[in-house]
């Protein structure tokens, strides 16, 4: 005796083979969808866990400050190669050295860039000694601007460059003077008084360069 198909309450009669197949297919589709959603949630949880481990679990050391730049040592090498004295600014307690290097080229230039060490001070000054150069060289570093005035500092005549605030290299003020065969330019974004004080501190070395001509 063949087994009769059960009567489905919603239909009030037995399912046809096609309806049975359709019901099973719908069930499988719903089951797969639920599994996909569960898998998505599980993957999201795993991703969040990995990110948390990276952020909180990886040890991080203390930030190490860059070692101070030994300007005197670098300057000694430059003096040896250029066979003449070069400027070594006295940083004392006010300045820190951000860079010091000899820039090669048609006119080699020894540069020392200074910035205030104090947290409340802003700006910078670069001391540039251009070898075998004169005042005509200075506009190359000053966006083409020429001197606007002159002033005397301890027997040296300095060209004054009062620049607009919108220069490409953020330079707003500069002082330049001839020392022997070299042209010395102090340029940056500090006040005229601050720049003049630095210039005055370089006078003994400028005199040495002048005498070495």
- Which residue has better confidence, 62 or 72? 72
Question: How big is the chain by its Cα radius of gyration, in Å?
Answer: 38
Range of weakest confidence among 24-28, 32-36, 86-90: 32-36
In this structure, are 103 and 193 located in the same domain?
yes
Any domain includes 1: no
In this structure, are 148 and 112 located in the same domain?
yes
Q: For residue 200, give its domain range.
A: 71-211
What distances in angstroms separate CA 23 from CA 16, 28, 29, 30, 154, one per listed residue? 11, 9, 10, 11, 103
In this structure, are 143 and 120 located in the same domain?
yes
In this structure, are 113 and 192 located in the same domain?
yes
Q: Which residues contact 191 (CB under 8 A, 6 or more apart)?
A: 123, 173
The whole-chain average pLDDT of the chain stands at 83
Any domain includes 45: yes
Any domain includes 157: yes
Q: How far apart are CA 133 and CA 82, in angstroms?
A: 14
In this structure, are 76 and 171 located in the same domain?
yes
Give 73-116 pLDDT, tens digit per residue: 999 999 999 999 999 998 888 899 999 999 999 999 999 999 99
Any domain includes 182: yes
- Which residue has better confidence, 171 or 34? 171
Any domain includes 62: no
Evaluate whether 156 touches 180 at the Cβ level (below 8 Å).
Answer: no
What local confidence, expressed as pLDDT, does residue 33 receive?
A: 59
Any domain includes 173: yes
Confidence bin at 67 (pLDDT 50/70/90): confident
Give 125-157 pLDDT, tens digit per residue: 999 999 999 999 999 989 899 999 999 999 999
Any domain includes 65: no
């Amino acid at each position: 005796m063949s087994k009769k198909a059960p009567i489905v309450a919603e239909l009030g009669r037995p399912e046809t083979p096609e309806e049975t197949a359709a019901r099973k297919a719908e069930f499988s589709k719903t089951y797969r969808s639920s599994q996909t959603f569960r898998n998505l949630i599980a993957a999201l949880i795993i991703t969040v866990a990995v990110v948390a481990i990276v952020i909180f679990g990886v040890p991080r050391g203390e930030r190490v400050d860059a070692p101070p730049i030994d300007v005197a040592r670098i300057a000694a090498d430059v003096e040896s190669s250029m066979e003449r004295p070069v400027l070594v600014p006295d940083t004392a307690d006010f300045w820190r050295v951000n860079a010091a290097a000899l820039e090669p080229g048609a006119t080699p230039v020894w540069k020392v860039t200074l910035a205030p060490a104090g947290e409340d001070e802003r700006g910078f000054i670069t001391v540039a000694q251009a070898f075998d150069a004169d005042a005509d060289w200075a506009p190359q570093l000053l966006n083409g601007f020429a001197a606007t005035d002159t002033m005397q500092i301890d027997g040296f005549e300095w060209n004054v460059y009062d620049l607009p605030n919108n220069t490409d290299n953020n330079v707003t003020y500069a002082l330049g003077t001839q020392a022997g065969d070299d042209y010395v330019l102090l340029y940056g974004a500090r006040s005229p008084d601050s720049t003049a004080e630095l210039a005055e501190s370089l006078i003994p070395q400028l005199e040495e360069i002048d005498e070495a001509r």
